[in-house]
Amino acid sequence: MDDKSPMLELRGVSHVYVGRKGASLAVDRMELAVGHGEFISLVGPSGCGKTTVLSLLAGLFPPAAGQVLLGGKPVTGPSAKVGYMLQQDCLLPWRTIRDNAGLGLDIAGRRAAAERNRVEMLLEEVGLAGTEGKYPGELSGGMRQRVALARTLAPEPDVLLLDEPFSALDMHIKMQLEDLVQATLRKLGKTAVLVTHDLAEAAAMSDRVIVLGRNPGRIRKEIAVPEAIRRLAPTEARKHPSFQALFDALWVELNAGEREGGSHE
């Protein structure tokens, strides 16, 4: 990978969905660059194209126009370098926690002992030591999402795409997981793109927050998170004296974007 180019890049990317009701523009000429090890969030009203942007970054389908680059090279399809984590943990109930966490490796046919050891280490890292032989039905929602995190990290992706991974969880579990995810990704030097509708979560976790405008998706505003907040764990960041001002700035942009209208669903 070329270290001088951004880890992820969108160059003039547009995406059109074609359905029975005709074609609709979901992403409109988007430009975005995410640096190595950077953590960014995408926020914006429902339907503004956040998930579509993640799908394009993951190479799930090609953009209608423009280029998607990973480490300076065009993305042509899904890659083990990019991990994807969703709101649903998608754990398989008949597999143990260990086997769920190792699912990505199994699918890729990566069965070496070192790979197996990494799964055990990751489970320990996310606070699940001792649960390896259990089944998903025996775990709480927060623990299940930790398994999903270990599963996503096991194939050693450079980039993590996170689509509202905490939104189904209770507030305090969600905050614990925000800290855990941020600390783990930082330690491993991963690049991350988080989609969330929770502005405080975006502000507390990210280096930079991208506010998207209403459909068709385009970038309305980029807000850099001040260093003083960035270096703190999310639960601590929320208590920082300048956190409220950051939150308010995001809130203003988000609401201005809503008012500018377009179709309301």
- Asked if 161 touches ligand ADP (CB under 6 A), the answer is no
Among 14, 41, 52, 145, binds ligand ADP (CB under 6 A): 52
Among 51, 79, 96, 235, binds ligand ADP (CB under 6 A): 51
Cβ proximity to Mg ion: between 50 and 118 the closer is 50
- Asked if 62 touches ligand ADP (CB under 6 A), the answer is no
Range 215-254, binding ligand ADP (CB under 6 A): 215
Residue 46 Cβ vs ligand ADP, minimum distance, rounded to whole Å? 5
Among 26, 57, 205, 209, binds ligand ADP (CB under 6 A): 26
Q: Given strand 208-212, what is the order of strands in its sheet?
A: 82-86, 159-163, 191-195, 39-43, 208-212, 219-224
Site string for ligand ADP, 90-129 (x = CB under 6 A): ----------------------------------------
**Are the beta carbons of 158 and 169 closer than 8 angstroms?**
no
Residue 50 Cβ vs Mg ion, minimum distance, rounded to whole Å? 5
Which of ligand ADP, Mg ion, none has residue 226 at its interface (CB below 5 to 8 Å by kind)? none
Cβ proximity to ligand ADP: between 16 and 33 the closer is 16
CB neighbourhood size of 145 (10 A): 26
Cβ proximity to Mg ion: between 36 and 197 the closer is 197
Cβ proximity to ligand ADP: between 24 and 235 the closer is 24
**Are the beta carbons of 14 and 29 closer than 8 angstroms?**
yes
- Asked if 214 touches ligand ADP (CB under 6 A), the answer is no
Site string for ligand ADP, 30-49 (x = CB under 6 A): --------------x-xxxx
Residue 25 Cβ vs ligand ADP, minimum distance, rounded to whole Å? 8
- Asked if 5 touches Mg ion (CB under 5 A), the answer is no
- Asked if 196 touches ligand ADP (CB under 6 A), the answer is no
Residues at the site binding ligand ADP, with contacts judged by CB under 6 A: 17, 19, 24, 26, 44, 46-52, 215
